[in-house]
Structure 1
Amino acid sequence: MPDTQNRRSFLAGVTAMTLAGAGLTALGAAPLYANPVTIDWDAAPVRLMMVEAKGCIYCAAWNREIGPGYPASAEGRAAPLLRLDIDGAWPNGIALERRPTITPTFILLRRGAELARIEGYPGDQFFYPVIAQMMTRAGIKPAA
């Protein structure tokens, strides 16, 4: 049986690997994006908030596979993207059921109130169908 110091070192390493594998970063890390002070909900009352983390491989996959085309998609026109860093500051007026702990997390918002969420990136084959289903359940029609 390992001694106490070795056990602590082992557990710290496992914890760090688990956090890194889940796409999480240590508290206090620099935010990826400057957070908006205010959000113009009149300009776009529905938004898709993407909560991400620096070093998250699933966020990087979304950015590569979906990100470039999202603003031009029907879903992107109906719910423009609002990006936030999981460790960064949060804009005032956001009402969530619970704070995200997984990256990426996609939260559909209407005027700052959470309507639905998906935790994790389901992959390029499933992302749009899942988002479309979230919108349908919330009574939002993707823009034609």
Structure 2
Amino acid sequence: MHIRLTALSLVTALCVAGATSQRLAAAELVMFEQRGCEWCEMWDAQIAPIYPKTEEGAFAPLRRIDIHEPMPDDLAWMRGERFTPSFALVHEGREYGRIRGYPGEDFFWGLLAEMVGKLKGTLGGDQASNGTRTPG
């Protein structure tokens, strides 16, 4: 029984380590929000349900940060935000763009496509964004 628990603990530790290193390496769309923000609620109604199903959502999963909470340790290098909602595209300790406020559905997707294109351009290859929202 002890051997089985030890093996299970090792597998669990490896999975956690893998998830942590994956989080550090993957791009994220950081959403700065706060309770009672009507523009955050509008974004949640119009964009949040489809975002994870898009190419952008697959490339840069959403991560929510409450502006009244301390900045998470892995984002301590990042400048905070006072306006909500705001969105920052980050990858490997660098910010590749920020959208301050929610300008509406059409403008949001266009601005996000620009940021994703900038990041993909720095990664090289044929990963340039085409600005589409094809579910992933």
What is the TM-score when the length of structure 2 is the normalising length?
Answer: 0.69
Q: Which of these residues, 97, 102, 106, is aligned with residue 125 of structure 1? A: 106
- Which residue number corresponds to residue 80 of structure 2? 99
Greater helix percent: which structure? Answer: 2
Structure 2: gaps spanning 5 or more residues:
1-18, 122-126
**Could you list the runs of 4 or more consecutive aligned residues of structure 1 that deviate by over 6 angstroms after TM superposition?**
none
Distance in 1 between the 2:48 and 2:87 partners?
Answer: 13
Structure 1: gaps spanning 5 or more residues:
1-38
- Which residue number corresponds to residue 27 of structure 2? 46
Deviation for aligned residue 1:89? 2.3
Q: Which of these residues, 93, 97, 110, is aligned with residue 116 of structure 1? A: 97
The percent of aligned pairs where both chains have the same amino acid is 36
String of CA shifts for 1:7-35, please: whole Å, max 9, x gaps: xxxxxxxxxxxxxxxxxxxxxxxxxxxxx
- Residues matched between the structures, number: 105
What is the TM-score when the length of structure 1 is the normalising length?
Answer: 0.66
Residues 71 and 80 of structure 2 are in contact (CA less than 8 Å); yes or no, is this contact kept in structure 1? no
Give the secondary structure class of the aligned counterpart of 1:76.
Answer: helix
Superposition map of 1:68-107 within 5 A: 68-94=49-75, 95-96=77-78, 98-107=79-88
Distance in 1 between the 2:21 and 2:103 partners?
Answer: 28
